[in-house]
Structure 1
Amino acid sequence: MADDEPITVLYVNDDPQLLELISTQLSREAERVDVLTAESADGGRALLDERAVDCVLSDYHLTEETGLALLRDVRAERPEMPFILLTETGDERVASESIEAGVTDYVIQEAIGNQAPLLARKIVTAVEHRRTQRRAERTDRRLREIVSVTEQALWMFDADWSELRFINERHETLFGQSSDALRADPTSFLERVHEADIERVTTAMERASDGEPQVVEYRVEKSEAVELWVESRCKPVRDDDGTVSAIVGISRDVTDRKAHQRELVRKVDQLEEFAGTVAHDLRNPLNVADGSIRLAAAEREGESERLGTALTALERMDTLIGELLERAREGERVGERQRVEFAELVTGSYQNVHAPGSSLDVTASVPLRCDPTRVMEAFENLIRNAVEHGPSDVTVTAGVLDERHGVYIEDDGPGIPEAERERVFEKGYTTAKGGSGFGLAIVERIVSSHGWSIAVRDGTDGGTRFEIVVGAG
């Protein structure tokens, strides 16, 4: 609201001289105040029906009825309108009845002196306070309308999770628990969390209370027959002195995403199973070819029928191999290659991961000739691995290897023991609870499909460093 936004005041007094004097003084004292006048309570009521009024200033001692009666009528129809009552005496009974009727302020009129500065200040203060309240109410109403249709549960707890300050209706959809039940016991949502995931969730809650933004995925047993995967993201709210005063966050259903990951793993399993049985599928045509060629050689028959059979079998083998390679490459194809700066790829990947509290430091860049979509997918998985296995404020550093023959992405997390480095790219291998063990396997496949190689090293600050060699030039 602008400081000079006009204010319309209705001043009611049955003394014409006082009515003119005070209204003139008010207008001179505050240019933004526009004064309407009425010589009776009924006249005031008529003006309230006709004009937009921000505040009522009324004398208590009116001829036909008191200003208190007017106050009661205004409160019946306009309960929030500022109303200031002027009286000539400090009668305790009048003051008590005025307060009970909902007066905004009560001013004793002095016999001499200019009270316009005091009245103007009280009028402006009361009107600005009411306008601020109305703006806040409108904002709150709009926010509630927005959160009522969002697909995410929005919530706010106090710093130690002992009080629920806000929750929208989506919580009940996710957890199968009413908002009233959660308000009565703010940590009761943990009763719906899968037993194997409770420790991970409570740890994230403790870290959030300590001031660390958190991202956690866990299973929710909505009912005996329904289980969901939920992702919760939260951020601490701090006071001016830095103390955590509240925790705000969102929770959303990621069951479909988890199902997609499981389906991806299943397809890869099928592909590997297929590749494992190829030797058996090829054995028969190879045996036929071998046997036929041997007989042809023994009989020394030039272009014999047996040699034709051998050629047919070899052609069949070639077809099978072609089909095998075609299927083995599904999901690993590299699209059209482009020259893209490493810094651009890794920065975009970091932004896609959405890891509040973490940071990215790109120390150098080099152009890479690659399929940018697939390479960003690989970088996202490397960054996500750092976030999931490291502290919430993990720092990810990206740069160029010596002689510019490759790039690296490292973190300052706990690192990977040397004994486990050979296994981290195996499908299904993970040390994180709830992890699919597929992220680094995807990285290795994408890197290999580009003709590059990847290795795990010690990070500069003791964390994990992934080095990707792309070759000279």
Structure 2
Amino acid sequence: MAPSTDTIHVLHVGDPSVTDVVASALEREGDQFAVDTANTPEEGLESMVDGDVDCVVAGHDLPDGDGLSFLEAVRESAPDLPFVLHADRRSEAVAERALQAGATDCVSNEEVLDRHAVLSARIQNAVARARATRQSAKARRVGRVVKALDEALARATTRAEIDERVCAILSDAEPYRFAWIGEHDRDSRTVEPRSSAGVAEAYLDTIEIRTDERPTGLGPTGRAVRSREVAVVQNVCEDPAYEPWREQALDRGYRSSAAVPLVYDGTLYGVLNVYADRPDAFDDREQRLLASTGKTIAHAYRRIELQRQYTDQYRTLFEEAPVMIVFTEATEDEPIIEDCNGAFAEHLGYTREELRGTLLAEHYTDRSAEQLLEGGYDRALAGEFVREQRTLVARDGTETLTVLQAAPRRDRDGNVVGTHALFLDITDEAQIRKLERQNERLEEFATVLSHDLRNPLNVAQGRLELVAETCDSEHIAHVRNAHDRMAALIEDLLTLAREGAAVTDPGVVDLAALAQECWSNVDTAEATLDVDTDRSILADESRLKRVFENLVRNSIEHGGPDVTVRIGDLPGADGFYVADDGPGIPEADRETVFDAGHSTNEDGTGFGLSIVQGIVEGHGWDIRVTESDDGGARFEITGVECASE
């Protein structure tokens, strides 16, 4: 193995007459050697504690001991440190025992004294192998630490969890003894601990760390905060910048220290501090690793920050969504409601707390519950279906027809644990379709009246006129009147069928203007119109016109030619009225005046008010008859929607 060009610190323990010669010879062999000497094993062990030793060279015959005993003592504190023993060439048993005890190499005393190049080469090769072994072990350690950190950061969901796991992982990794993460207070210019792990013994309680230029701000933490770069103290014992904390650090075995700013996109999220059990633990490679780790940690903080923002936005959307949303949990028996939004709870008449933990099927009709439990939920878990109808049942028994859309809900490991379910209320849509079908049936009925009844009547009327030309009979007049009445009945029935259809596309109607127009369309004789409204409403204008015309005719027909008709707004209600000062409608008859065929006029068909009621209900309004202030009839129409201004 090629010798290393880095400085090799050699400790030679033995008789001064030998160690001094060897030290001078080795330093002449190459600039890389720096040799310290010790006379006794005790002095050698002390030198190892106080200094940085790459290789120990020791003779077998030592003052106050022997080389094998010294080797055993060295191996107790430094099991991997290169150790070269030199002894008499004839002491093969000593060499064998030395190698068995963990010596790196054995050479003869003659080689030490006379063949310095051989000793130099053996020391260089021993140190190179040891350094390579340490680098390999360090690489494996770094790999394990990086992997553990990556996994912890990926799974963390809070900043506190990141702090805790990072400190625990680093403090458990050689050569670190302690790790902590602090928060920088910009106002006080101090760093306050957030989390820590390792050999601390209340260390953080005994120190103050600032980030200004005071003595307690000149250590690695203060420098890292100010520079936004990794700052290190390679030797706690000697670095003057570490004076404020030296005693407490040394008492806990800290020999070097590094501070890492946790910065992402210009934001300082904190500062990481790590302490090693040896001097010079933070070489260039270690500092690059820590800098990269700091960026990764800060990126994880930012990810969690964004996740929290997105979670808050999602929670707001979930809670305030106008549609009903439910999170279900798959259990061995039946799906339960894990959570729901306010729209779902309000629609069913419960609180969210009451619904959590209940069986989803409890809030379905029997038919929908059967669909849920007989394959519907399994398809939802598998993501196989997109859209199905379900009928929900509220606390008061009200049923709501919905369209359910569901998708699998997964945990953080990707396992399906339930479903996301969205319920869209389509009750109104179903009602509209029902009204459309009703309108279609009414139109079919109108077609029958128009063709199957009116056409034969037209034929009968024509035949009657032919008979009248050739026959003079008093019966012809009676038949003609009957035909006319039949024609009037057919026209009223056609009107009733067509005007009773639901209104699906209303427009803006000015009530006062429409009332005046309708008044001019009716033979009002000496009657008077009094309009007291400035309201505009949403209605089908042509059909509302028939309402006014029929009610005006009804007032004139029953109130006489000089009747007064009033049209105005209902006080405090969403509607209007049509009233007169005629004789009124007896209270006993008010429930039947809207019946088809009801009439007190022998010439009437009895469909006028029935048509009015059909049009009113086709708009979704209500109508009732009562007594006017003048004692006449008053028709009140409510449920009317005013047009927006």
What is the TM-score of this pair, normalised by structure 1? Answer: 0.42
Structure whose CA Rg is larger: 2
